[in-house]
Amino acid sequence: MDPEVAKILDDYKAYLEIRGYSQGTIKQYLHDVNLLVRYCSKPPWELSERELLEFLVRLRRERGYGAASLRRKISSLRTFYRFLQRVGMVEKNILDSIERPKAPKRLPTFLTREEVEKLIAVADNFRDRLLIRLLYVTGLRVSEAASLTWSDIDFEKGEILVRSGKGGKSRIVLVDRETLNMLRKFKHDRAGRGESVLGISVRTIQHIVKKVREKAGIDKKVTPHVLRHSFATSLLEAGADLRTIQELLGHASLSTTQIYTHVTRKHLREEYLKAFGDLHLREKS
């Protein structure tokens, strides 16, 4: 890599750290810029809008990137060019004029309370049962769960401080009494093993959830993010307002949270049809 480009990337990493971005986000943003550098023969600050568009087209055609992936790449690179603008490497952020492709609207998968309880029941050990329950009752992102420390948990108030969540923002999430009791026991059993609560990586958490889903025999897709969706859906069905759910999930925009209203409407219709969908058949018999 060109030494000047390498120096700019080091400065960009420091810029992201100062702004409070999580390590996972920083890693992904740097990966996106490195991909741009590898694909293009010029330094990023010398590229034209046309050349950036050609780069995105190549990602679509050669790597099979869909609309959602391209949207994220454009947002990531827009942040990088904003940095280049700040340090005087470019006059304007040319990513501002590139429209992001429309993302397909997909309703998130979610689990019923009974399905979550089934996952917890079949988990192999106490840690895995705690993990499934913690993801469900807090709505934590998988990266947030992996980085959780004991000092983040207020056992008296039943709260968890999520430090530098998505977008570098911190927030407070709530924890129910049963999960707090499980956390106390787990902390006691792991005394002297460090500050990390779970002591496992994002990849390990994903593997555990997958393994538990298979053991439970649940046909739906089940991931840590599906448990987060299930948390939000359960709150909405219980009567929580969207603003509260937005705060607990750490969504920057209420429009992101509003998708759960569509989920619950779909769920309500399915439940309605179970009860009344074949009423005419019963009347004829």
What type of residue is 57?
Answer: V
Q: Which of 127, 133, 213, 251 is catalytic?
A: 251
- Catalytic residue list contains 118: no
- Catalytic residue list contains 31: no
Q: Which of 129, 133, 166, 213 is catalytic?
A: 166
- Catalytic residue list contains 267: no
Query: Do strands 159-162 and 171-174 pair parallel, antiparallel, or not at all (unpaired)?
Result: antiparallel
Q: Which of 12, 21, 29, 260 is catalytic?
A: 260
Q: How far apart are CA 260 and CA 230, in angstroms?
A: 10
CA–CA distance from 82 to each of 26, 38, 233 (Å)? 15, 20, 36
- Catalytic residue list contains 207: no
Q: Which of 118, 213, 228, 229 is catalytic?
A: 228
The closest alpha carbon to 13, from 35, 30, 25, belongs to: 30
- Catalytic residue list contains 228: yes
**DSSP characters over 176-206:** -HHHHHHHHHHHHHTTTS-SBSS---HHHHH
- Catalytic residue list contains 251: yes
- Counting every residue written for the chain, the total comes to 285
Q: Which of 225, 274, 282, 284 is catalytic?
A: 225
Q: Which of 141, 215, 266, 269 is catalytic?
A: 141
- Positions annotated as catalytic residues are 141, 166, 225, 228, 251, 260
